[in-house]
Structure 1
Amino acid sequence: MDKDRVIGSAKVVKGKAKVAIGKTIGDAKLESEGEADKVEGKVQNAVGGIKDTIRDA
């Protein structure tokens, strides 16, 4: 498993936490940062998946 997949998954989890906390306290900026972290994590996870596929080929 590529390190990008691990880091990407961690960013998704961090983003979900930020979104939840932002909604709870009513902080729209924190919510949007969380959404951005989730997207960035998903992209990085996908890049790691591609690297794994190439490496396994």
Structure 2
Amino acid sequence: MGFVDKAKNAAEDAIGKAKEVVGDVTDNKDLEAEGKKDQGSAGAKKIGENVKDAFK
């Protein structure tokens, strides 16, 4: 996994966490769900990159 990919995934995860917190505080369930989705997406990308790296 390249440094740029790691940074993008970390940023997507951080943004997702922020959205989830803001959604929780403002009682905006859609924003909270979007934040969780972003975090899941970042995690899936990280796993995919780790699998690719394992087979190199």
Q: TM-score, normalised by structure 1?
A: 0.78
Match of 1:19 in 2: 20
Structure 2: unaligned runs, 5 residues or longer: none
Larger RCO of the pair (alpha carbons < 8 Å, separation 6+): 1
Structure 1: unaligned runs, 5 residues or longer: none
Does residue 13 of structure 2 align to residue 9 of structure 1? no
Task: Give distance in 2, aligned partners of 1:30 and 1:17.
Answer: 10
Distance 1:6 1:45, change over 3 A: farther
Query: Equivalent pairs: percent with the same residue?
Result: 27
Q: Which residue identity does 1:31 align to in structure 2?
A: E
Secondary structure of residue in 2 paired with 1:26? coil
* Count of residue pairs the alignment pairs up: 55
The structure 1 segments of at least 4 consecutive aligned residues displaced by more than 6 Å after TM superposition are none
| Cα RMSD, aligned residues only | 1.5
Q: Determine if contact 1:6/1:45 at 8 Å carries over to the other structure.
A: no
